[in-house]
Amino acid sequence: MWAVATMVAALESSPIRSYRIRGREYRVKRDDLFSAYGVSGNKARKLLSLAGSPPAGPVASMGGHQSNAMVAIASLCELYYFCKPVPRWLRENPRGNYQRALALGTKMIELQPGEDPRVIAAELGATWIPQGAAYPGAEKGLKILADELDGDVVVPAGTGTTALFLARHLKNATVYAVPCATPAAGLRAQMEHLDARTGSVGRFPVILDSPRPFRFGAPNERDIAVWLELRAAGLPVDLVYAPHTWDVLLHHGLGAVYVHTGGLEGVETQLARYKRANLLPSDSALLL
């Protein structure tokens, strides 16, 4: 068990820094810069309760083969991880978060059509943590994050867990959530479900729709262009959530603080995908 006081001290060390992008100063909460109990970014926030009081037995969760949450949970607990069938090329050449999770002892369980991972997890005696750590225990660490912020913020939203709990605890400010993994209606439904499980407080972030079509995780020219622009400004970000969020943020001209949720460990595998798709600019070869 990790000492909660030690973890909180690490969480509170996350700085806010300024970056000049398109002629304007933007403030960024650099939650990616600390590492508590081997976990960084918003996953460290979400898993604070789990790290402080881990279950006696294994934990089970589900998601993609390169999930950041998968590695974070595996760093803390014995993990059964449910996923779609692993591609042959990845099985034969493990890399990225998939390789890291295996090295941590994660037991991958490939789901077959019609199988319910929660039923299988119960049969294995494992404590279930929803995909992306969208569970009530996430509130504790995210309240600490809210206490460190002052003013409006914008956050990438997968399950909407971070955005929901920030909106609940960040007083006299607006939290903007940019849907990345699901359309706005789906994101709202997920947040309403989690809100109902955690007291039905009814405080929600403002959801910012995208000005363009967006397919989660799929390499595209606009995302890599935004990613390279941020990199040139001295701001390293992930290549799944951040470029799309910044595209929306810049489109709306918001002056809100961007909450950097981490995920840099996945950049390597995403860049490889961009290279295979011939979407890397010719002058970016040194990135690989």
DSSP 10-57: HHTT--EEEEEETTEEEEEEEGGG--BTTB-HHHHHHTHHHHHS--SS
DSSP 106-159: -EEEEPPTT--HHHHHHHTTPEE--GGG-STTHHHHHHHHHHH--S-EEEEESS
Residue indicated by tokens 């039923």: 119
Q: What separation in angstroms does the CA of 229 have from each of 57, 236, 278?
A: 45, 10, 18
Three-class SS state of 249: helix
14 catalytically annotated = no
Round to the nearest angstrom and report the end-to-end CA distance of the chain: 38
Name the active-site residue from 14, 40, 61, 67.
67
Catalytic residues: 67
